[in-house]
């Protein structure tokens, strides 16, 4: 069996077209997952940045309203002695 280096590790290769391909199934790279998680622009792209920013603002406002509603309910209950 022939071997080839991919990403610093030895992997078996298969014969086929003129390309060298590893016979192992490609696995997700954890470093790429971390990069996409910390920088979502890598997944959404620049053309979608405005809608993504609008979504974040709407989400932040929705969560703030929910938090305010919970605090207001708690204060009303405290005021009414419930």
Is 56 a domain residue?
yes
> Residue 71 belongs to what domain range?
45-82
At residue 16, the pLDDT reads: 60
Reported pTM: 0.40
Is 21 a domain residue?
no
Is 36 a domain residue?
no
The low-confidence residues of the chain, meaning pLDDT below 50, are none
Which pair of tokens denotes residue 28?
């997700």
Is 18 a domain residue?
no
The total of structural domains in the chain comes to 1
At residue 48, the pLDDT reads: 65
At residue 15, the pLDDT reads: 63
Which pair of tokens denotes residue 10?
């030895």
Judge whether 40 and 33 are in contact, CB under 8 Å: no
CA atoms of 74 and 67, how far apart (whole Å)? 11
Which pair of tokens denotes residue 57?
């603002």
């Amino acid at each position: 069996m022939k071997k080839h280096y991919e990403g610093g590790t030895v992997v078996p290769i298969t014969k086929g077209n003129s390309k060298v391909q590893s016979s192992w199934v490609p696995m997700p790279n954890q470093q790429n997952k971390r990069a996409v998680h910390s920088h979502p622009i890598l997944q959404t792209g620049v053309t979608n940045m405005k809608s993504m920013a609008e979504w974040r603002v709407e989400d932040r406002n929705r969560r703030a309203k929910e938090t305010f509603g919970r605090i207001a309910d708690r204060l009303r209950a405290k005021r009414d002695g419930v």
